[in-house]
Amino acid sequence: MAKQKKIREGSRLATAIMYALAALVVVITLYPMYYVLILSLSAPQYALTMQVYTVPKGFDLSAYKLMIGNPEVWRTFGNTVLYAAATTVLMLATSFLGAFPLTFKSLMGRKYINMYLLITMFFSGGLIPSFLLIMKLGMYDSPLALIIPACFSVWNIILTKAYLSTIPETLREAARIDGASVFQIFARIYLPLSTPILAVIAVYTVVGVWNSWFSAMVYLPSLNWQPLQIYLRRMLIDSTPPNTIMSADAVREMIERKLAYSQLKYAMIIFSSLPVLFTYPFFQRYFMKGIMLGSLKE
């Protein structure tokens, strides 16, 4: 009897190369964040010159102490949490409520509604009409100026519709036979099965709102409602020396302030990035979970 040949799965050399490439990608991705972290932990003079590459020099936590004790940091942080939470909840509602009716093939004008939504993705009025609209609606210098315009996304509606279309229509038909209404089908079938896409939209929205600063700069002149990213931007700009001739005392004061800001701005970057970094792990399991497995049985 001939000896059975063993099946070889891959090559050790190819596996080693793939692991090396993956490690390289990880280093390239994580090192910039690690670099900012060690700069925030280094003494101000080292943070200013940026002569730190692997470990902090002159370990110093004064920037974090100054940041934690600053009430303006916590005020802007609270504003950002408010904007992110409110916008995410409304974005989930508008995306799902906008996509669910489009899954019904019998919906009157379904083709034209899809066409209308696609047109708005490629053409917009621009900044000036948006600014005038915000002014006319009375939302200028109000938190609503950041929440209402950002709580609707055609792309998220299309993304949700594409996911809902993968749910077998037999589930909907079986529910109709059992006497379920459209609202019951929505709440008891489609909504529980849509956790993965809702988690993806939630992560996209939280990250987008958390890192946004331009809309706040345009619509929120008052400091009371400005988000954390505006405070960070203002700090980075204030630490830049102006192109003017100054006296010796002014130069000395500017240097001292620049030394303090050189460390504080890196600490602020770490502080503003941590919430987003800690948000993803809570949603990660929904990305990989096959929630539809076993929903239909023959």
| 113 vs 157: CA distance, rounded Å | 12
Question: What band does 58 get if pLDDT is binned at 50, 70 and 90?
Answer: confident
The whole-number pLDDT of residue 71 equals 87
Residue 293 lies in a domain: no
CB–CB of 194/104 below 8 Å?
A: no
* pLDDT (average), residues 230-255: 60
Same domain? 149 vs 214:
yes
Same domain? 93 vs 43:
no
Same domain? 28 vs 80:
no
Residue 204 lies in a domain: yes
Residue 298 lies in a domain: no
Residue 247 lies in a domain: yes
Same domain? 69 vs 128:
yes
Same domain? 270 vs 150:
yes
The whole-number pLDDT of residue 79 equals 92
The total domain count for the chain is 2
Q: Which residues contact 120 (CB under 8 A, 6 or more apart)?
A: 154
Residue 5 lies in a domain: no
Same domain? 113 vs 44:
no
CB–CB of 45/259 below 8 Å?
A: yes
Does residue 82 carry a pLDDT above 90? Answer: yes
Residue 221 lies in a domain: yes
Q: Residue 21: which domain range?
A: 14-49
Most confidently predicted of 12-16, 140-144, 250-254, 282-286: 140-144
- Tens of pLDDT, residue by residue over 33-43, are 899 899 888 88
Angstrom CA distances, 239 to 87, 171, 233, 252, stand at 32, 60, 10, 13
The whole-number pLDDT of residue 286 equals 66
Same domain? 43 vs 69:
no
In whole numbers, what is the pLDDT of the chain averaged over residues? 81
| 64 vs 66: CA distance, rounded Å | 5
Closest CA to 101 of 183, 198, 194, 205: 183
Same domain? 105 vs 251:
yes
Same domain? 116 vs 18:
no
Same domain? 18 vs 70:
no
User: What are phi and psi for residue 179, nearest 5 degrees?
Assistant: 90, 15
Q: What is the largest CA-CA distance in the chain?
A: 97
Does residue 285 carry a pLDDT above 50? Answer: yes
The whole-number pLDDT of residue 291 equals 42
| 96 vs 92: CA distance, rounded Å | 6
The pair of structure tokens assigned to 38 is: 């060690």
- Tens of pLDDT, residue by residue over 124-161, are 778 888 899 999 999 999 999 999 998 988 989 988 99
Residue 260 lies in a domain: yes
Residue 4 lies in a domain: no
